[in-house]
Amino acid sequence: MNLKRFFMLVITVIGVFTINRLNVFGDETGEYLIKINRVQNCVTVYSQDDRGRYTVPFKSIVCSVGINLDDTPTGSFVISEKQEWGELVDGSYGQYCSRIIDSIMIHSVPYNSNDKSTLKTEEFNKLGQPASLGCIRMKVSDAKWIFDNCSEGTPVIVYDDDISPGPLGKPKTSMIPEGHEYGGWDPTDDDESNPWKNLSPAINGAHDIEIEAGDKVDLNENISASDICGNDISELIDIEGEYNQEKAGIYNLEYIVTDGFGYSARESFTLKVNEKPTETVEQTTSASQTQVVQVVEEPKTGVGPIMKILFIALCTFIVSTLFIKRRQ
């Protein structure tokens, strides 16, 4: 074995040991572990269990890694430095930068300058796919969460798994329409000057519903929703409140939706479930009795069966008597 191969083997063993140590034993200096799935462009943040191990999936974040995959190195790192604004390798700027190695940082989608109204909108719309020069890009709200909650020394693992993005899945992305008047701002930026903060998602078609007990009704039928950019997010609508379509009562419910930028909307509606009218046994019996009474009380007309028999017998007797007398 030559010297180069020996050192590569040592580095690999150290790397594997470090990753396993972070996964199993935790790290006393960090509350969280950040794992970045490079091929899925998804970040999962883990918190510690009661034994100090990073086993509890806490938060999932959509990201963009290097457009050339190898520009984002795999391995085990720690957050070593932080900057609220950082100049990036191409001369653009990122918010809430957390350095993990050399020029590789976790930060927001890039800006043309260190001005929050100069977001590169076309780069924002690439979140969820490879797009950077090696750094890990996120929405401002996610980059800020890591900046605020993951101290220097927080362990970071970059790995590849093309089957699963992570235990919490990969969040859906939302796009800013091209040419939108607020396109220079990241919609998730909590800055008070952010014009997106004056908008909210829309829920359309909400109205009170009245049914009979036992009816099966889709409460989401003809209900739609759009995010603050106008994108359709109807599939994200949830219903808040308890109800039972089998049981009569009045249920006060709400449609609720949260878009991919973190903005929410609510619309109240009432579900009224009425008792289902049924044909009772008493009603059926009463109707039958009425019909019988009518038949019994009908005046009799014509000759009944008994009268016919008596009439035939009488006629037979008379004919027989006359026949006998004539013979005598």
pTM: 0.73
Question: What DSSP assignment string belongs to 205-226?
Answer: ----EEEETT----TTTT-EEE
**Per-residue pLDDT at 84 exceeds 90:** yes
- pLDDT of 74 over the 70 cut: yes
Backbone φ and ψ for 119, nearest 5 degrees, come out as -55, 140
Query: Model confidence over 173-232: pLDDT tens digits?
Result: 999 999 999 999 999 999 999 999 999 999 999 999 999 999 999 999 999 999 999 999
Structure tokens given for 24 = 């199993």
Nearest-CA neighbor of 236 among 278, 265, 214, 273? 265
pLDDT at 72 over 60: yes
Over the chain, what is the mean pLDDT? 86
* The pLDDT of residue 287 is above 70: no
Residue written as token pair 């796009």: 175
User: Which is more confidently placed, 328 or 161?
Assistant: 161
Question: What pLDDT is attached to residue 289?
Answer: 54
pLDDT band at 279 (very low <50, low <70, confident <90, very high): low
Q: How confident is the model at residue 292 (pLDDT cuts 50, 70, 90)?
A: very low
Instruction: Classify the C-alpha dihedral 195-112-159-128 as positive or negative.
Output: positive
pLDDT for the residue 312 = 75
Instruction: Say if residue 300's pLDDT is above 60.
Output: no
Task: Specify whether the CB–CB gap between 232 and 175 falls below 8 A.
Answer: no
Bigger pLDDT: 65 vs 27: 65
- The DSSP annotation for 275-293 comes to PPP---HHHHHHHHHHHHH
Phi, psi at residue 42, to the nearest 5°?
-140, 135
Determine the average pLDDT of the residues in 145-171.
97
Kindly report the backbone phi and psi dihedral angles of residue 106, in degrees, each rounded to the nearest multiple of 5, phi listed first.
-90, 125
d(CA 77, CA 54): 15
Q: What is the mean pLDDT of residues 85-101?
A: 96
Q: What spatial distance separates the first Cα and last Cα of the chain, rounded to whole Å? A: 153
What pLDDT, on a 0 to 100 scale, did the predictor assign at position 99? 98
Whole-number Å distance between alpha carbons of 177 and 35: 31
203, 209, 211, 215: CA torsion to nearest 10: 0
Report the pLDDT value the prediction gives residue 302, as an integer from 0 to 100.
Answer: 54
Determine phi and psi for 309, rounding to 5 degrees.
-65, -45
Share of the chain above pLDDT 70, in %: 78
pLDDT score at 316:
74
Q: What is the pLDDT of residue 110?
A: 98
Mean pLDDT throughout 95-124? Answer: 97
Residues 16-52 pLDDT 10s? 444 444 444 444 457 999 999 999 999 999 999 999 9
Identify the structural domains of the chain with CATH numbers, from first to last. 27-196 (2.40.440.10), 202-274 (2.60.40.10)
